[in-house]
Amino acid sequence: QLQLQESGPGLVKPSETLSLTCTVSGGSISNSNYNWGWIRQPPGKGLEWIGYIYYSGTTYYNPSLKSRVTISVDTSRNQFSLKLSSVTAADTAVYYCARPTGSYNWFDPWGQGTLVTVSS
Amino acid sequence: DIQMTQSPSSLSASVGDRITITCRASQSISIFLNWYQQKPGKAPKFLIYAASSLQSGVPSRFSGGGSGTDFTLTISSLQPEDFATYYCQQSYSSPYTFGQGTKLEIK
């Protein structure tokens, strides 16, 4: 059974780069049937799709974040990562990694989420 | 971007009630509509894909419907564990936007 687990700093200073990693267990990240994504949720608010990476390496990003986001895969560690540059307080959120699945691209499974606070 | 609007934003109901949540897309998305349940402090749980197909293990009291721009999530007989926030998500075109959520509370 595939499981995902986010990790990374819980506090990032404004203007710096937020870096998170999602470790995949129960399956190989290089499986050609798998794609990998990130979603975030500001405290008390709804869900925002950040983007995802296809097994081929092609990436799709939310246009509202595209200039600041990079998603990549590290097959040697069975991990994928999120980098968000030039962060502000508006980027404070719980960040989830999840797998876009099937022909209808639903997200399942999800990691447990990790809270990242942007503050000096 | 395709905007997803859920109604109501919040709903009070009792155990045993039948409730329906509506999700409307700003343009036609065929049946590229998924539903999730989220409880406080937890990651969302995937419930329904392709507007009406139940994920394995999801109780049959949950059902989804609709196509084009209008969709529904119905819970036929509310159970205590169903009180949560529900989100729709379109996967017709990137960015894959979510509705703002419907919080289902115990009356």
Q: Do A63 and B95 touch (CB under 8 A)?
A: yes
Cβ neighbours around A117 below 10 Å, total: 13
Which of left, alpha, beta for A10 (phi over 0: left; psi -120 to 50: alpha)?
A: alpha
Cβ atoms B69, B23 nearer than 8 A: no
Provide the b/e sequence for A30-51 (b: ≥16 CB within 10 Å): eeeebbbbbbbbeeeebbbbbb
Measured between beta carbons, which residues in chain B are less than 8 angstroms from residue A107? Answer: 34, 36, 44, 46, 89
pLDDT in tens, B44-90: 999 999 999 999 999 999 999 999 999 999 999 999 999 999 999 99
pLDDT computed for residue B19 by the predictor: 97
d(CA A33, CA B90) in angstroms, rounded, equals: 21
User: Which chain A residue's Cα is nearest to B85?
Assistant: A46
Strand-pairing partners, residue A24, are A4
List, for residues A64-108, the tens digit of each pLDDT value: 999 999 999 999 999 999 999 999 999 999 999 999 988 899 999
Tell me the per-residue pLDDT of A21-34, one tens digit each, with 9 for 90 and over. 999 999 888 876 78
Chain A residues whose beta carbon lies within 8 Å of the beta carbon of residue B101: 46-47
Percentage of chain B beyond pLDDT 90 is: 97
pLDDT at residue A33, rounded to an integer: 76
Among B42, B89, B95, select the one facing A62 at the smallest CB separation.
B95
Structure tokens at B15: 């155990």
The full 3-state SS of B18-71, as one line of letters, equals: CEEEEEEECCCCCCCEEEEEECCCCCCEEEEECCCEECCCCCCCEEEEEECCEE
Q: How far apart are CA B51 and CA B55, in angstroms?
A: 11
Nearest to A116 by CA among A44, A43, A49: A43
pLDDT band of residue B4 (cuts 50, 70, 90) is very high
| B106: Cβ contacts below 8 Å, ≥ 6 apart | B12, B13, B14, B15, B80, B83
Measured CA to CA, the distance from residue B65 to residue B47 in angstroms comes to 13
